[in-house]
Amino acid sequence: MFTGIIEEIGTVKTIKKGPKSVALTISATKVLEDTKLGDSIATNGVCLTVTSMTKDTFTVDVMHETLKRTAMVTIQTGTKLNLERALTLSTRLGGHMVSGHIDGTGTITSIRQDDIAYWVKIQTKPSMMRYIIEKGSIAIDGISLTVATVEADAFEVSIIPHTKDETTLLSKPLGSLVNLECDLIGKYVEKLLTPETKRQGIDEAFLKKYGF
């Protein structure tokens, strides 16, 4: 689990491509403190496992499923990435509970300045928007942010100067793909409130199970 409070911006040093996967070697310093092989680091919001490391780099494997579902497919050598180590029991929970399991992606469609703040608008599909509510939490490329406005197929967040300086979000050009993780609570509530018949579908096995 993570908090969505970015600790460091890392840089992709090398990309080793497999048939349907990649191994990323990322330069970093702070997130390597107390880190050991097998630990998890949220990399642009994606929970990845450290497979090897040096004093100033770590390597992670990105599987085919992750490449299909996230914006990791757009990463190139030199790409800047938001990094966060997994939380501990003594960590301040300054953001919100983030699993590092990406729900989908969105596209940055506008960035506008409002005094010291910046408003970022992100477009995504309706199946994602059902979990995004005004004043709710969302992780964008691993950054814990508050949803400010909601439309049918887009939402906005407001970025404070500290977040601007400590993350990669405002360095991205319009049209960039970003990773989105919706708040965990809404997804669990929906699953629990969905009738079993809707989750399973009604078929011959279901009818036999209930005596028909």
Beta carbons of 94 and 2 less than 8 angstroms apart: no
The correct CATH number of 104-193 out of 2.30.30.40, 2.40.110.10, 2.40.30.20, 2.40.37.10 is 2.40.30.20
Q: How far apart are CA 102 and CA 91, in angstroms?
A: 22
Domains 8-85 and 104-193 share a fold: yes
pLDDT tens column, 175-189: 999 999 999 888 888
- Under DSSP, is residue 49 helix (H, G, I), strand (E, B) or coil? strand
155 vs 108: CA distance, rounded Å: 10
- Higher-confidence position of 94 and 44: 44
Judged on CB neighbours under 10 Å (0-12, 13-18, 19+), 173 is exposed
Please tell me the pTM assigned to this model: 0.89
Which of 18-22, 109-113, 157-161, 194-198 shows the lowest per-residue confidence on average (mean pLDDT)?
194-198
pLDDT digits (tens, 9 = 90+) for 51-93: 999 999 999 999 999 999 999 999 999 999 999 999 988 888 8
Each domain of the chain, given as residue ranges in start order, spans: 8-85, 104-193
pLDDT at position 197 over 60: no
- The CA-CA-CA angle for residues 56, 141, 170, to 5°, reads 90
Report the percentage of the chain scoring pLDDT > 90: 82
* Domain 8-85, CATH: 2.40.30.20
CA contacts within 13 A on the Cβ side of 127: 3
Query: Would the pLDDT of 203 be above 70?
Result: no
**How far is Cα 61 from Cα 139, in angstroms, rounded to an integer?**
22
Rounded to the nearest angstrom, the gap between the alpha carbon of residue 184 and the centroid of all alpha carbons in its chain is 12
At 134 the pLDDT is 97
Q: Give per-residue pLDDT as tens, 112-135.
A: 999 999 999 999 999 999 999 999
Are β-strands 177-182 and 104-114 bridged in parallel, bridged antiparallel, or unpaired? antiparallel
